[in-house]
Amino acid sequence: MFKVPGKSRQTSLLVEILMIIIGINVALWFEGWFQDLRDAETEEQYLVDLREDLRIDLSNLDSAIEWNTAKISSLRDIVSRLDKLVDAPPEEQTQVFFAPSGYGFFQPSDFTYHSMQDSGDFRLISNVGIKKGILKLERRHKEIALIQNNFLQALDDSYIPLMMRSFDITTGQLTDPEIAHDQLFKNFFVYTIQDTEMMISHYERIRSQSTELIEAIDRELSDRR
C-alpha cells in the first residue's frame, strides 16, 4: 500500500490551524471574562460612591429645608409689620431689607454621576431600576437648579436695584421712606415666600427620591455579597 505524498503534512497543518483557532478563542474568552470581572468591580465602586454622594445630599437637603423654613417664618413676620418700617430702628431696617436676598440653596453632590457620564461608564450600571432612579433624580436636580437661578435673576433684575436706590448700606437706614408703600417692594416679600415654599417642596421630593435610591443601592450591593 502506497502513502499519499503530503497527506501527513496537510493533516499536521490543519491540526496546527485548529489549535491556533482554539487558542485565540480561549484567549478571547478569558479576556472577556476578565473584562466582565473588572467592569463588575468598577460598577460596585460606582454604586458605593453614588450612595455616599446621596447620603451627603440628604444631610444638605435637611439643612436647606430647615434654613428655608426659618426664612419663611421670618419673612411672614416682616410682612406683617412692613407698614411700620419707616419708624423701625436701623438694625431692624437692615434685617428687613436683606431678608429677601438671603438664600440657602441645595447643590447636589453629583461628582460620581458626572464622572460616569463623561467616561461612558454609566453603561456599567446593570440594575435598570437604579439607572432609572439616577436619571430621574438628575432631572429633579435640573428643575431645582432652574428654580434657584430664576430666583437669583429676580433678585438681580428687580429687588436689588430697588434696595440700592432706597437703602444706605453704610448707615443701615432708609433713604426713601416711601419704599415701604411701594407695591413692587411689598410684593417681592410675598413672591419670596411663595418661591421658597416651592423650593422646599422640591427639596422634600428630592429627599424622598434620594432615600429610595439609597435603599435600592443597598439591596443591590447586599445581593452581590
Query: DSSP states of 107-142 as a string?
Result: ----HHHHHHHHHTGGGG---HHHHHHHHHHHHHHH
Q: Which three cell numbers, joined as nine digits, stand for 208? A: 424622598
In terms of residues, how long is the chain? 225
Question: For a pLDDT cut of 70, what percent of the chain falls above it?
Answer: 88
Q: What is the average pLDDT score of the chain?
A: 88
Residue in the structure block whose three cell numbers are 454604586: 47
Per-residue pLDDT reduced to its tens digit, 40-61 = 889 999 999 999 999 999 999 9
- Domains contained in the chain, number: 1
pLDDT score for 32: 63
pTM of the predicted structure, to 2 decimals: 0.82
Residue 1, in any domain of the structure: no
Mean pLDDT of the 209-213 span = 97
Residue 65, in any domain of the structure: yes
Residue 207, in any domain of the structure: yes
pLDDT score for 2: 44
Q: Determine the longest span between alpha carbons in the chain, in angstroms.
A: 128
For residue 87, what are the domain limits? 7-223
Residue 95, in any domain of the structure: yes
Per-residue pLDDT reduced to its tens digit, 62-88 = 999 999 999 999 999 999 988 888 888
Residue 103, CA atoms < 13 Å, CB-side half-sphere: 20
Residue of 5 and 170 predicted with greater confidence? 170
pLDDT score for 24: 75
pLDDT score for 7: 58
Q: Are 136 and 209 in contact (CB under 8 A)?
A: yes
Residue 137, in any domain of the structure: yes
Residue 107 has pLDDT above 80, yes or no: yes
Residue 2, in any domain of the structure: no
Residue 28 has pLDDT above 70, yes or no: no
Mean pLDDT of the 160-179 span = 86
Question: For a pLDDT cut of 90, what percent of the chain falls above it?
Answer: 62
Element (H, E) at 220: helix 183-223
Residue 119, in any domain of the structure: yes
